[in-house]
Amino acid sequence: MSSPNPTISLAATVPQGAGGARVDAMASQLFPDYSRARLQTWIKEGALTLDGRPCKPKDKCFGGESLALEAALEPAGDWVAEAIALDIVYEDDTLLVINKPAGLVVHPGAGNPTGTLLNALLHHCPSLEQVPRAGIVHRLDKDTTGLMVVAKTPQAQINLVRQLQKRSVKREYDALVVGKLIAGGTVDQPMARHPTQRTKMAVTDVGGKEAITRYSVSERFGHYTLVRCSLATGRTHQIRVHMAWLKHPLVGDKTYGGNRQLAAGISSELRNTILTFPRQALHATHLELVHPVLKETMAWHAERPEDFEQILNQLAEEDPLV
């Protein structure tokens, strides 16, 4: 049986000289552990009051008023805990950093109601039932490997989301791409859902959201390049789409052409390896952020998985840079 949802009981006085600030804006300043959107919901539900009375998010504060919050935190959802092994890189009372394997879906959805990272997290840490989305603040594609951070408290989750919004979280990825890249650069191209293929994303000039990927060359082979990509934004499939836009799709990327675009002049053995690589060659190798409680910068590194290393070794032997 699920435990009761934890409750919040907070009060604060609006500082003098508020100057007609909106209640929701003032509440986000006075109760910084909670997002403005969540505070707006609580205002509308009557859980957050102004001088003891229900109010609206747009009501004004001028100074001296009392804001009181009495609310219950929402549970993560109607998901089940499952005993799925996790590769835990770091854990304390606030954070959990994992090294996600290939093939593991992050969040339940259509076609994947169980067997996901979220289900595994609920088994490993049952208290995550009381944190929205079981503490997940960012995602990796099913077949992308590497580092993810999970918040173990609602307050930590809000903090990490704000760090992501401020672009202060450093996320670096190793990606093996088709073709020879001479130098690094930046792709600053907006992205949106593909207009006709709804499971894909695409670079677009109409209605797209800002998407920025910085990349540098880590290692060159004869016909392929290992690059290090750094995300300034976190759009769905961002690295995969941006590298394909550069005409250098990721090796093994069935969605964006990396499994079909083969370099000319490679051996039949290497050609077979490229064609049969079962996923996009993308690994989240470095993660850096400020700990929500300790306020210290922390960083983690995850080595590339064995299948990624094997293809790099084969490239070094059969496709050397000449």
How far apart, in Å, are the Cα atoms of 187 and each of 212, 228, 240, 289? 6, 13, 12, 23
Phi first, then psi: give them for residue 195, nearest 5 degrees.
Answer: -65, -25
Angle between helices 36-45 and 23-30 in degrees, nearest 10: 120
Q: Render pLDDT for 199-244 as a digit per residue (tens, 0 to 9).
A: 899 999 888 889 999 999 999 999 999 999 999 998 999 999 999 9
Q: Under DSSP, is residue 70 helix (H, G, I), strand (E, B) or coil?
A: strand
pTM: 0.80
- 319 tagged catalytic: no
Q: One digit per residue, pLDDT tens: the chain, 322 residues?
A: 344 556 778 888 998 888 899 999 999 888 876 778 889 999 999 999 999 999 999 999 999 999 999 987 665 567 889 999 999 999 999 999 999 999 999 988 777 788 999 999 999 999 998 888 899 999 999 999 999 999 999 889 989 988 998 899 999 999 999 999 999 999 999 999 888 887 899 999 888 889 999 999 999 999 999 999 999 998 999 999 999 999 999 999 999 987 666 667 788 888 888 888 999 999 999 999 999 999 999 999 999 999 999 999 999 999 988 7
Residue 305 near residue 145 (C-beta atoms within 8 A)? yes
Equal CATH topology for 7-72 and 88-159? no
CATH T-level topology, domain 88-159: Pseudouridine synthase (3.30.2350)
Residue range 170-318, CATH number:
3.30.2350.10
Domain ranges of the chain: 7-72, 88-159, 170-318
Q: pLDDT tens across 122-148, in order?
A: 999 999 988 888 999 999 999 999 999
Determine the Cα–Cα distance for residues 41 and 127; give it in Å rounded to an integer. 23
Question: What superfamily would CATH give domain 7-72?
Answer: RNA-binding S4 domain (3.10.290.10)
Task: Give the chain's radius of gyration (CA, Å).
Answer: 23
Which residue of the set 141, 143, 253, 319 is catalytic? Answer: 141
Distance of CA 68 to the CA centre of its chain: 33
